[in-house]
Every structure is written in structure tokens, then in C-alpha cells.
Amino acid sequence: MGSFSKLTYHVVFSTKYRRKTINDEMRERLYEYIGGVVRNLNGSLIKIGGIEDHVHLLVNLSPAKSVSDSIRDIKSNGSKWLNELSEGRSRFEWQKGYGAFTVSHSHIEIVRRYIRNQREHHRTRTFEEEFVELLRRHEIKFDRKYLFEAEHVG
């Protein structure tokens, strides 16, 4: 008998300090690039979306690579590409961490709709509020003081 798997994740990560740096001009190209990175990792991108300070990915990831290694590669390749593209503009960075939540096959359409409606969703809720809610919904324990990187000025 062969081995079969389909590992679907809802992955969420933000820009460094949740800066609003993903503008309309770059968004579609960034999403296409991330889709290419996912395919190069032998995965498939089902849906991607977000707003200026974070992205959501609904992805199937290969079992041959750990989830953390796959997300590291997606983030590092995406930021490297954006920095090469920006030619002298301020350096683009992602936050250090991420959220990755398993999605059952029967809930894929629900998560896809959730990602598609990010702009509307964030008219009343910040990324921080959304992320905390995702952690709570998935019963992940966390300490708020270590949850988000804070920008230090001066």
C-alpha cells in the first residue's frame, strides 16, 4: 500500500511590527510570488489574502518538509523578493513568528471565504484582535507579553 496525505493549513503572519507596508501596488505580485514558492515546496496554494499588515494563506503543504521549515521558506523568499524589487525603499520584513492551524477538508470553503473577506473583516477588528481570536479558537495557550514584537524607538 502507498502513503497518502493532504495536509491543509491556515497560515497567518504579519509584517514586522505590523507596519502597513503591503500596498495595493505590490499585493497581487507578492501573492503570485508566494504561490510560486509554495509550488516549489511541492505544495499548493488554495487561497491567499490579507491587508496591509498581514497575510493569510490556505495551503496544502508537503509532508516531506516540516511546517515550520515551509513557512520559514515562504516568508524568507517573499521578503527577499520584495527587497530586491523595492530598489532602495525601506527594507521589508515579516514578524518572527506565525500561526499555523490545521483545516479539515470539510472546512476549506469556510476558511477560503474568511480569507477572501479580510478587507471587510478588518473594518472592525485589528490584526492583533484577529490573531488572538484564532489562537483562542484553536485552544493554543499564549502569554500576551510575548505574542507581538514591539517597535522600540530611540
* H/E run at residue 100: strand 99-102
Q: Is residue 152 part of a domain?
A: no
Q: CB–CB of 96/13 below 8 Å?
A: no
Q: CB–CB of 49/118 below 8 Å?
A: yes
Taking the C-alpha atoms of residue 68 and residue 135, their distance in angstroms, rounded to an integer, is: 17
pLDDT of residue 88: 58
Q: CB–CB of 75/53 below 8 Å?
A: no
Q: Is residue 135 part of a domain?
A: yes
Q: Is residue 151 part of a domain?
A: no
Q: What is the pLDDT of residues 96-154, one digit of tens each?
A: 999 999 999 999 999 999 999 999 989 999 999 999 999 999 999 999 888 888 876 55
Q: Is residue 153 part of a domain?
A: no
Total domains, the chain:
1
Q: Is residue 2 part of a domain?
A: no
CATH of the domain at 44: 3.30.70.1290
Q: Is residue 93 part of a domain?
A: yes
pLDDT of residue 40: 97
**Model-level pTM?**
0.92
Q: What is the pLDDT of residues 41-73, one digit of tens each?
A: 999 999 999 999 999 999 999 999 999 999 999
DSSP 91: P
| Residues with Cβ within 8 Å of residue 23, at least 6 apart in sequence | 52
Q: What is the pLDDT of residues 12-40, one digit of tens each?
A: 999 999 999 999 888 999 999 999 999 99
Q: Is residue 44 part of a domain?
A: yes
pLDDT of residue 57: 98
Residue 134: domain span = 7-146
Q: CB–CB of 18/128 below 8 Å?
A: yes
Q: CB–CB of 58/112 below 8 Å?
A: yes
Taking the C-alpha atoms of residue 22 and residue 53, their distance in angstroms, rounded to an integer, is: 6
pLDDT of residue 132: 96
Q: Is residue 26 part of a domain?
A: yes
pLDDT of residue 150: 82
3-state SS assignment for residue 15: strand
Q: What is the pLDDT of residues 69-92, one digit of tens each?
A: 999 999 999 999 999 887 657 789
